[in-house]
Amino acid sequence: MAKVSTLLLSAATLGLLKYAPAEYLAPLIDLLSKTPFTPQTILSCVQFFAWCKLLTGVASNINTYFSWKKENNWVTDDKYDWDKEVVMLTGGSAGLGEQMAIQLAEKGVTVVVVDVNPVREEVLEKYKTISFFSCDISDFAALSTTAAEIRKAHGDPTIIILNAAIANLGPLLSTPVAQSQKLININLTSHIAMIHEFLPSMIKNNHGHVMFIASMCSYLSIAGLADYCATKAGTLAYYEALRQELRHVYKAPKVRTSIVHPTWMRTNIVPFESVEKSGEIRDIKRLFYGVEKTAKIAVQKVLSGYGGRVIVPDVWQMRAMIGLRTWSIWAQESLRDYVRLIGQ
pLDDT digits (tens, 9 = 90+) for 138-171: 999 999 999 999 999 999 999 999 999 999 988 9
Beta partners for 159?
A: 87, 209
Give the C-alpha separation, 239 to 194, whole Å: 13
In angstroms, what is the C-alpha Rg of the chain?
Answer: 24
Q: Where are the beta strands (DSSP E) in 27-117?
A: 86-90, 110-115
Write out pLDDT tens, residues 163-202. 999 999 889 999 999 999 999 999 999 999 999 999 999 9
The whole-number pLDDT of residue 42 equals 64
User: Would you say domain 86-339 falls under CATH 3.10.580.10?
Assistant: no
pLDDT under 50: residue ranges of the chain: 1-2, 4-5, 7-9, 11-14, 16, 278-280
Neighbours of 63 (CB within 10 A): 10
250 labelled catalytic: no
**All structural domains of the chain with their residue ranges:** 2-71, 86-339
CA distance 169 to 303: 34
Catalytic residue among 127, 219, 228, 239: 228
pTM exceeds 0.85: no
Buried b / exposed e over 239-277, threshold 16 CB at 10 Å, is: beebbeebeeebebebbbbbbbbbbbbebebbebeebee
On whether the CB atoms of residues 168 and 182 are closer than 8 A, the answer is no
Q: What is the pLDDT of residue 269?
A: 64
Of 127, 232, 301, 306, which one is the catalytic site residue?
232
What count of other Cβ atoms lies within 10 Å of the Cβ of residue 165?
25
Known catalytic membership, residue 18 = no
Whether the CB-CB separation of 290 and 95 falls below 8 Å is answered with: no
